[in-house]
Amino acid sequence: MEQSFWIDRPTFVTGATGHVGGWLVKHLLNAGADVVCLVRDWLPRCELVRTGLLDRVTVVRGELRDSQLLRRTLGEYEMNTVIHLAAQSIVGTANQDPLTTFDTNIRGTWTLLEACRLSPTVQQVVMASTDKVYGDVDELPYTEEMPFLARYPYDVSKACAEMIARCYAETYDVQVAVTRLPNIYGGGDLSWSRIVPGTIRSVFRGERPVIHSNGMFIRDYLYVEDAVAAHMFLAERLADNPQLRGQAFNVSSETPLTVLELVEKIARLMGSDLEPLVENKVKHEILNQYLSAQKARETVGWHPLYTVDQGLQSTIDWYRAFFASQQ
């Protein structure tokens, strides 16, 4: 990444209290950016608060769906770069409460992009999406040319958000590009229902890790710092090459694993021989999904810096220190 690009750069982050958002803010501050964060709820255990990073940014309290707030924020703080991470991203929650998911992920996106369209200072927008927009297909890995076949609430909400982003790029020349992300893991994620933090916590406690599916679903797993770098890198490339406007880029370590393989890998790295408990209860999930990141490598020069083993080891080390601090 280009350090000089970010020095004193007014940068607006949505979803800053989320898992990726906390790491993104840390890297933006280290690069010298002037960061403004939209924060809805006070989450004292999130990385942004727990590490004191919140004291180094400007905080705007409010909702992503508040158009007046977004327009005021982008104008008052003269934002140049916007990184949009905010979303209802828990698949199970989306299945139980689709209306809130649609409202947050779809209306929240068009509200933000409309504010960006009306802003005289916004120059780049990078928006996070998901590999789930592709749906269930026979031919893998996913490539960016594949159509959207989303069927379930979370997947559909992100596919709609992407189409809105493309609309704003093509119709209004908003400089927006999209990252399509796989499952993100790394320190700071305290959503214990997710497979990586849940497995690590179970092994630390000497308990059998729980797999809610049958363990045979194939997924991509990307270390959080690689995901952060992809968003910052794409913002820089948008500044250099406006032709990237409206495009989407798969971001992946290109190391697909079954859930069972991932859990066994974590246990091995932690020196444990605990056998996972396979519940086989998951419904409305895509069976197999993994991405090709060839376009990101060849078009913008992005590539992951961490292998899955390296990322998992860094993650385990983070949780080891976190659990020690809680005693």
Which residues are catalytic, by number?
Answer: 154
In the chain, what is the straight-line distance between the N-terminal and C-terminal CA atoms, in Å? 38
CA gap 226, 184 in Å, rounded? 9
- In the block, tokens 């913008």 appear at 300
* Four-point Cα dihedral 59, 54, 114, 106, nearest 10: -120
Separation between Cα atoms, residue 280 and residue 266, nearest integer Å = 20
With vertex at residue 140, the alpha carbon angle to CA 135 and CA 146, rounded to the nearest 5 degrees, is 55
Q: How far apart are CA 211 and CA 92, in angstroms?
A: 14
Local structure of residue 142 (DSSP, 8 states):
B
Q: How far apart are CA 80 and CA 120, in angstroms?
A: 9
CA atoms within 13 A on the CB side of 275: 3
